[in-house]
Amino acid sequence: MSKRSFMNTFRVFGFHMVLGFISSLMVALGSLQQLSPFTSKVIGSWWLGIASSGNVPSSRFELPAEIIVIVGLGLGIVVWLDLLWKVRSRRGVPVAALWYLGAAWVLPLAIAGPLFSRDIYSYAALGEMVTHHISPYRYGPNVLGGTSYLNTVDPFWGNAKSPYGPAFLGLAALITTITIHHAFATMVGLRLLALASAVGIGVYIPRLAREYGFDGGLVFTLAVLNPVTIYHLISAGHNDVLMLAFLVAGLYYAKISRPVLGVVLVTLAALVKVPAEIGVLYIGWHWLGEGKPLKERARPVVTAFLVSGIVMELAAKVTGLGWGWVLALSTPGQVRSPAVPTTAMAYWLHDVSHLIGLSVGLGAYLTLTRLLGFAISGLGALYFLFHSSYYGSLKAIGYTFLVVTLFAPVIQPWYIAWGLILLAVNPSPRVTWGIVIVSISAMVLGLPGGPPIIATAFYVVVTVAALIVVCLRFRLIPREKIEPWIHKVFGQVQPV
């Protein structure tokens, strides 16, 4: 973009650029406080804001620093919402102009350590394991012993087998080798990989939106400038952003009639995290176009999975890691969070059973409710697949991801991003506001103490909705009084 174009961009969006920069700077500076709960404070985690060995972390400004982070996040969300409103009202905003905003919002985070998660340190340790020919599918990072790689890993995951595919672990091992087995440099390299992946999403998602006839600038704002993307995918360095980059690129090439390339790229996404394999199913399902009977869809679906299987086998051979990742997919289920419906249901059943004198362990209820969650996810996935012509394939994939996330053993903000980024490609008013609500909820979920808040809000909303349905069903409330309010808030019933 020329200097003149940049000045035009700044004149229109300078307010958002500056305030977004300030909000990210507040978050970055506030997180540097030595007792901040928003970043890892283990020695070796980062080069600023860490107490040196043998020194007691300073509690000075601890509370003000936490307030600065919260206010900064709030300001960033408000700026994003105002930008979203402005881009919606100015159809055709060039995506090139929005890249400057993204750069300004992300740049201050370079002085802060990975935010809200320590997963990236586990990635580095797993890469180190692979370079020493230790299978992460058989052992956890603790096998490394007293190395600098292990020092920063969350002890909770010390003995956990990796659920990540060989493509990602191979890349992590490559970065470990390039950085000459320096733990901190490996972490920085992985963070740069996340940034490059976000750039990939930013390149392909407007293209995908245009193929479906939607405004690329609005989709870029919803997906790439989303606070979940900036703070949980890019800053935290989660490998989900790499998965999404491959997935979006694969779906784009499938849309422009290059399905084999699409399957290969989506398979690479699944070789980072397996849920992306849903995209292979959809490419095969729509390979011959819309309106085809089930018998005609079967062959291309089988073809898509055969191509995907070949790519997976090649990855298994090239990396030398085999297929062990398939057996380690249950690892994230070790987390128990009140924000997860299946976990909450298990606790409720456990408490009720004890009240009536049944001594059934919590583990048995967790097994039951998680199996129920998997069943619901499977049925939901089938529902959206068979109704994908009604919803549109990208919406169907996005909704499938959200259902899978909601009923999975654990919910994380970066998991929620899977569905949000694909839904953003079709930004109808209802979808747009749905993304806004879920994104803000995901940001709260990622804060210390956030899961109970989101769990309470979610179950209150579900309870109120159930009461409204019951009241309408049994005519306890006149339908003519409640329906106008429902239509005003949610709009007329239509495909979303």
Q: Domain segments of the chain: what residues? A: 1-113, 114-327
CA distance 265 to 197: 13
Euclidean distance between the first and the last CA atom of the chain, given in angstroms as a whole number: 36
CA distance 173 to 171: 5
pLDDT confidence band for 338 (50 / 70 / 90): low
DSSP state of 161: P
CB neighbour class for 462 (10 Å; exposed up to 12, middle 13-18, buried from 19):
exposed
Condensed to tens digits (0 to 9), the pLDDT of residues 351-373 reads: 888 788 777 777 788 888 888 98
What does the pLDDT read at residue 8?
A: 64
φ, ψ (nearest 5 deg) of residue 39: -140, 165
Are 220 and 202 spatial neighbours (Cβ–Cβ below 8 Å)?
Answer: yes
Flag whether pLDDT at 493 surpasses 50. no
pLDDT confidence band for 494 (50 / 70 / 90): very low
Condensed to tens digits (0 to 9), the pLDDT of residues 137-151 reads: 999 999 998 789 999
More confident residue, 465 or 143: 143
CB neighbour class for 207 (10 Å; exposed up to 12, middle 13-18, buried from 19):
middle
How many alpha carbons fall within 13 Å on the CB side of residue 190?
A: 34
Contacts of residue 137, Cβ cutoff 8 Å, sequence gap at least 6: 161, 162, 321, 322, 324, 325, 327, 328
Are 347 and 369 spatial neighbours (Cβ–Cβ below 8 Å)?
Answer: no
CA distance 61 to 66: 9
Flag whether pLDDT at 389 surpasses 60. yes
pLDDT confidence band for 339 (50 / 70 / 90): low
Flag whether pLDDT at 464 surpasses 80. no
Tell me the two tokens of residue 349.
């059943």
pTM: 0.88
> Considering the chain, what percentage of its residues have pLDDT values greater than 70?
90
Q: What Å distances lie between residue 259 and 197, 283, 393, 398, 458, CA to CA?
A: 22, 7, 14, 19, 39
pLDDT confidence band for 6 (50 / 70 / 90): low
What does the pLDDT read at residue 22?
A: 96
User: What mean pLDDT is predicted for residues 113-141?
Assistant: 93
CA distance 412 to 488: 31
CA distance 136 to 250: 27
